Amino acid sequence: MRKRTDVKTWVVISVFSVALGAAGTAAGQIIYVDTDGPADFNNIQAAINAAADGDTIRVGPGEYRESINYHGKAITVKSEEGPYITTIRGAGGSVVTFSSGETQEAILEGFTITGGSGTKHHYSSRGGGIFCINGSSPTIVRNIITGNSTTHGGGIYCEDSHMVIAGNIITNNSAWSYTSGGQGGAMMSYGSQPIIVNNTIVGNTCREFDHASGVAFYGSQPLIINCVIYANYTMSHPWQNYDISGVASEQVSHCLIGDGQFAGENGNISEDPLLVDQEGGDFHLLPDSPCIDTGTNHITIDLPIDIDSEPRISDGDLDSTPIIDMGADELCVPTTTTAADIFCKPKVDFGFTTPEDPILQETLKVWNIGEQELIIDDIRIEGADAGDFRLSTAEHLPISVPLLGDAAIQLEFRPTTPGKNSQAEVVILSNDPDEPDLRVSLQGHFQGVIHVPTDYPTTIG
């Protein structure tokens, strides 16, 4: 999916005036880290130990199996190629610790933070991914915080902090305790004033329903702007999400909150954010997402790029008024591309069907995010189980799709074999020079019914 390369003007109201776009520009030396090459160090903590205030530590791609502590230093630790290919996997306890009064000049940028189990504090483990106490107020920007688990604050725990959390994806973290139930699968804040801007906080869990599985605040005064907080569930009530707790409506602005809190106030909404593939870990916005151009440009920090290092703010809906999107991703449309560009979700899952409900239907939307008209010449289904799926598209081929327009492909799942998992692909042939035969996975399951004879024994003894 191509994105534009020009940068429109953004508006910044300087309340706390944190310049994230200038991370690493303070005077100081640059220290290099990589896993096995000619860098200064082969682990991040050794580089931190050697650094002085104002230094920047640049980390090459790879996985670093360690837990790190800033030890009060005003330094920037930044990956060279972004969070998708640069991981800090915890070696025990919290993955990243700020406990020595670090300021917002202590910056962590561009990593996947995973494998944390938290630090013992107040009789329980806290901060699986990031642990922040004792007045420490670091800046956490453009990271993917995932796969961490502890009692309180699975992804992040902050206490007595003014930390900045901006442009991150926080997903698949958990807060778990048999005694207290756990609090804040994504984040727990205690007695703090965090600034939380343009984060995507999705798919985190905690144990009990009376505690928020997304972000939980206690005695805190957060500022939450332009965030997507959605589908965070408790293990005791997996059918019902509980995304945020402990905040007042005036502290939340222009956010999508899935559990319905604050909807209709301060630009907040509550609906499906329409992410590309949430279950598969792709949190980019689909072209018809309600998050596009619905944030507010009046934010307290300068956030010039998104999680993919793509420029923001972009005019995602092409109405000539660039407005920042909600969440960590900024949908950008091309301004220099001269070809058609096809885009759609990577898979369609029909779920389960039964003999009582033998036919399931789904709609696959296809967008043109290029500059020229997209022409869909043919659509077909291929694969070993292709016979279990049908095309029922009403439009006649070829289909013409203008810039940012879409076409709807109607699909049916009509299985015949009970107990079978069916898989196939939709193949879409078009004039996109990069993807002339786009393939989309199809899957579905025919649950079927097992008939038990009346004389069949159903008990033993």
Quote the DSSP letter at residue 396. P
Domain boundaries, the chain: 18-302, 342-446
In CATH, 342-446 is 2.60.40.10: yes
Q: How much of the chain exceeds pLDDT 70, in percent?
A: 85
Average pLDDT, stretch 303-308? 93
Give pLDDT tens digits for 166-181.
999 999 999 986 555 5
Average pLDDT, stretch 383-391? 93
Lowest mean pLDDT among 15-19, 119-123, 363-367, 401-405: 15-19
Contact by Cβ (8 Å): 444, 349: yes
- Measured CA to CA, the distance from residue 229 to residue 218 in angstroms comes to 18
CA-wise closest residue to 443 among 428, 425, 429: 425
Give pLDDT tens digits for 37-82.
889 999 999 999 999 999 999 999 999 999 999 999 999 999 999 9
* 109 band by pLDDT with thresholds 50, 70 and 90: very high
CATH topology of domain 18-302: Pectate Lyase C-like (2.160.20)
Contact by Cβ (8 Å): 165, 158: no
Answer yes or no: same fold for 18-302 and 342-446: no
Asked if residue 398 has a cis previous peptide bond (ω within 30° of 0), the answer is yes
* 320 band by pLDDT with thresholds 50, 70 and 90: confident
Give pLDDT tens digits for 241-265.
678 999 999 999 999 999 889 999 9
Does the pLDDT at position 426 exceed 60?
yes
In Å, what is the CA distance from 123 to each residue of 118, 120, 360? Answer: 12, 6, 51
Average pLDDT, stretch 129-133? 98
